[in-house]
Amino acid sequence: MGVGIATQSGTFDLGGERTVTRLGYGTMQLTGPGVWGDPKDPDEAVRVLRRAVELGVNLLDTADSYGPVVAEPLIKRALHPYPADLVIATKAGLTRSGPDDWRAVGRPEYLRQQAELSLRHLGVERIELFQLHRIDPKVPLADQVGELKLLQQEGKIAHIGLSEVSVQELKAAQETAVIATVQNRYNLTDRSSEPLLDYAEEQGIGFIPWFPLATGALAGEGGPLRDIAARLDATPSQVALAWLLHRSPVMLPIPGTSSVAHLEDNLAAAELKLSDQDLAELTAVTAD
């Protein structure tokens, strides 16, 4: 596999100014079961992170709640001092009370504390992209986004992102601050965030699809994903990622994995070219 293969996915200017390779890497799987605790093989986690950067990835997505406090220190261990072009996107706003337990907390003082801790855990003076992990319904949205804007004005974060929001929530947040990215669940089998994607594209906002490799029955025997993959001598995962990249120029997939082999397989999607017929077939089937 050629060094820099991820760069074949193209680039996107985050916030209109920071260029990233569109096919990135998400770190949620570099933790224990239920996104809780340390990974089974921390050394492999370090190898995955280093290999991702070696293959041209320069957008890493993480969060303080992954572990919690597991993924961010792993990134520092693996990659610090960081390459000049590396963008580490982290998040705050979800607390953890055990495996698979996520609770939104968006109080301004909490978000500020977590930003300060992420700066320390990552070993950086500024977080390039800081995302509100979830909107806390108990706190006014303007207060949550407003605190991120204050951190931005203080030079502690460069760009602000949101996660799991509607178009209406994004528009409301834009009244308080400039929003550079949104991160919603989106894949071949779940396109419920399509209106948000369309609005993001219109606004020049990066769209980070989480859980990008969910393919369900489409990848099963006789399914369209498997058929197209066989025709292209590719894997169903590669086809699913290639479809995302073709779907919109603001799409920034961040497939995660805890193994170097799976990482290399995923990143090979960057050079996969889908024909108009392939794209039409996939889009039509998933629209049912």
CB 54 within 8 A of CB 282: no
Query: What is each CA distance from 172 to 142, 157, 178, 235, 251, in whole angstroms?
Result: 8, 20, 11, 40, 22
Classify each residue of 243-252 as buried b or exposed e, where b means 16 or more C-beta atoms within 10 Å of its C-beta.
bbbbbbebbb
Considering only CA atoms, which of 36, 167, 147 is closest in space to residue 93? 147
Query: What is each CA distance from 108 to 92, 117, 136, 181, 280, in whole angstroms?
Result: 11, 14, 11, 20, 45
Amino acid at 208: I
The residues, any chain, with a CB within 8 Å of residue 180's CB and separated by 6 or more, are 14, 15, 129, 159, 160, 161, 205, 206
**110 carries an active-site annotation:** no
Distance CA 116, CA 113 (A): 5
The residues, any chain, with a CB within 8 Å of residue 179's CB and separated by 6 or more, are 160, 161, 162, 170, 173, 205
CB 133 within 8 A of CB 163: yes
Catalytic residue among 66, 82, 186, 199: 66
Catalytic positions, written as ranges: 66
